[in-house]
């Protein structure tokens, strides 16, 4: 007698999400007026996004008369800097534009709204939504279904790096942004549309 070894329990609903199906969308943080709309209308793919983590400090203290162990209480919560990397495309200057605006603010020149007066912008911070899609796509091939997402709150660029130029190498030119931020939200959704996903982390 022979028997088959078959996993009859795996379905699209039970498959874990894949880390390679995602895209990012940049938005205005709160009511601020960001200095250049090319930053807040930025939406597209990145080859990698890392640093999606939260850490809360544990503070130890000892209690007099109870010397065998220490107590642990929560302290300050910190958010790991986010690194976003993508291939460089001609004309995609959002990252360097963001860096120039930050430099202007830090040097006291004031941030100029594109086409407006210097100092007119209220913020160089943005919110970023990262959507994670199904794989394989659970809907029609032309419809993205988003099952999970992250919202990065009050982010701003702190470093911009480009890969080395080398005539002997056939590699792609990448740019890498490092962002600091002030909060990270995570959401899951059953509907799967971008509108539904965005509503859960507004």
- pLDDT tens-digit profile of 50-109? 999 999 999 998 888 877 888 899 999 999 999 999 999 888 888 888 888 788 777 766
Instruction: Look up residue 191 and give its two tokens.
Output: 């509907």
> Quick one: CATH architecture of 22-200?
Roll (2.30)
The secondary structure of residue 64, as a DSSP letter, is T
Up-side HSE of residue 178: CA atoms within 13 Å toward CB? Answer: 8
| Three-state DSSP class for residue 135 | coil
Predicted local distance difference test score (pLDDT) of residue 98: 85
Tell me the per-residue pLDDT of 54-69, one tens digit each, with 9 for 90 and over. 999 999 988 888 778 8
Q: What share of the chain is helix, strand, coil (3-state, %, to 5)?
A: 10, 40, 50
């Amino acid at each position: 007698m022979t028997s088959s070894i078959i996993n009859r329990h795996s379905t699209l609903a039970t498959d874990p999400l894949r880390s390679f199906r995602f895209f990012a969308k940049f938005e205005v943080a709160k009511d601020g007026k960001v200095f250049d709309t090319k930053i807040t209308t930025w939406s597209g793919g990145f080859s990698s996004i890392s640093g999606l983590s939260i850490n809360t400090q544990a503070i130890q203290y000892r209690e007099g008369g109870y010397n065998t162990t220490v107590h642990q209480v929560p302290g300050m919560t910190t958010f790991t800097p986010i690194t976003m990397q993508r291939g460089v495309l001609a004309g995609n200057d959002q990252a360097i534009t963001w860096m120039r605006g930050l430099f202007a603010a830090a040097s006291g020149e004031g941030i100029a709204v594109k086409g407006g007066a210097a100092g007119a912008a209220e913020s160089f911070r943005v919110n970023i939504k990262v959507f994670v899609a199904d794989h394989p796509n659970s809907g029609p091939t032309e419809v993205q279904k988003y099952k999970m997402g992250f919202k990065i709150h009050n982010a701003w660029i702190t470093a911009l790096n480009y890969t080395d130029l080398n005539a002997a190498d056939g590699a792609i030119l990448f740019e890498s942004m490092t962002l600091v931020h002030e909060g990270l939200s995570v959401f899951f959704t059953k509907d799967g549309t971008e509108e539904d996903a965005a509503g859960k982390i507004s």
